[in-house]
């Protein structure tokens, strides 16, 4: 993937986030505090604006730009989690304009590790990790499809949350899709369009 496609990835994702803003907040309303859509929209808007003045960024710098936007504009849990994931990816990619499939997998792995480190969470706790990990798994096996991503997102529904704000609901969190998983699903479905 070259840097033009890479930038397109974030372009598609960020516009998808704007489109699904209300839906993301509604999901968060059910088991959290109803701001996930607003949080994410604010972060991606900051990225979109910052992007206007930048041209021909390396893939690493592109990741850094979106990471810093999330980190400095979003707040909440998702801001620093997405932020540190993108920053870890930036570090993993480095100053390049073309990446291989393996580099992509390695960077995403660094990203999810950063999320897990910051969020002190692992799989099946009903967080975005439940999308990142299986997506990376499937990417490795080169068989990721949109349907799979949707099912990873939907599979957070039956889980009982043990991390994040939804964890305070205990059993009452069961039956609702995790909002951060939904926004991560959008991220990977956008990626799928370009690889």
How many chain residues bind Mg ion (CB under 5 A)? 6
Six token digits for residue 177: 């899709």
Provide, rounded to whole angstroms, the least separation between the CB of residue 22 and ligand ADP.
Answer: 14
Alpha-carbon gap, residue 67 to 64, rounded angstroms: 5
Rama region for 54: left / alpha / beta (φ>0; ψ in -120 to 50; rest): beta
Give the one entry of ligand ADP, another protein, Mg ion, none that residue 84 binds, where binding means its C-beta sits below a cut-off of 5 to 8 angstroms depending on kind.
Answer: another protein
Candidates 109, 129, 8, 130; CA nearest to 57 is 8
Question: What does 181 interact with, of ligand ADP, Mg ion, another protein, none (CB < 5 to 8 A by kind)?
Answer: ligand ADP
Least Å from the CB of residue 60 to ligand ADP = 24
Task: Find which of ligand ADP, Mg ion, another protein, none residue 158 binds, CB within 5 to 8 Å per kind.
Answer: none
Of residues 24-53, those binding Mg ion (CB under 5 A):
28, 32-33, 35-36
Instruction: Please name the residue that has the structure tokens 């073309």.
Output: 98
In the bound state with Mg ion, the residue whose beta carbon lies nearer, of 3 and 127, is 127
CB of 3 or CB of 156, closer to Mg ion:
156
Give Cα separations from 141 to 22, 104, 171 (angstroms). Answer: 34, 13, 34
> Can you give the length of the chain in residues?
195
SS3 category, 98: strand
- Residue from 37, 43, 67, 76 in contact with Mg ion (CB under 5 A): 76
CB atoms within 10 A of CB 144: 21
| Minimum gap (Å) between residue 24 Cβ and ligand ADP | 8
Residues that bind Mg ion (CB under 5 A): 28, 32-33, 35-36, 76
């Amino acid at each position: 993937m070259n840097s033009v496609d890479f930038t397109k990835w974030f372009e598609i994702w960020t516009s998808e986030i704007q489109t699904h803003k209300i839906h993301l907040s509604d999901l968060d309303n059910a088991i959290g505090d109803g701001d996930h859509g607003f949080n994410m929209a604010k972060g991606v808007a900051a990225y979109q604006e910052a992007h206007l003045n930048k041209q021909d960024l390396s893939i690493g710098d592109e990741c850094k730009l979106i990471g810093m936007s999330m980190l400095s504009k979003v707040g909440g849990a998702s801001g620093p989690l997405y932020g540190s994931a993108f920053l870890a990816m930036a570090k993993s990619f480095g100053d390049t304009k073309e990446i291989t499939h393996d580099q992509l997998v390695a960077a995403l792995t660094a990203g999810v590790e950063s999320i897990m480190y910051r969020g002190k969470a692992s799989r099946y706790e009903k967080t975005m990790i439940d999308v990142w990990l299986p997506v990376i798994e499937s990417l490795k096996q080169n068989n990721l499809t949109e349907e799979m991503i949707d099912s990873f997102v939907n599979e957070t529904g039956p889980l009982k949350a043990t991390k994040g704000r939804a964890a305070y609901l205990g059993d009452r969190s069961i039956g609702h899709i995790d909002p951060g998983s939904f926004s991560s699903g959008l991220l990977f479905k956008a990626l799928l369009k370009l690889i």
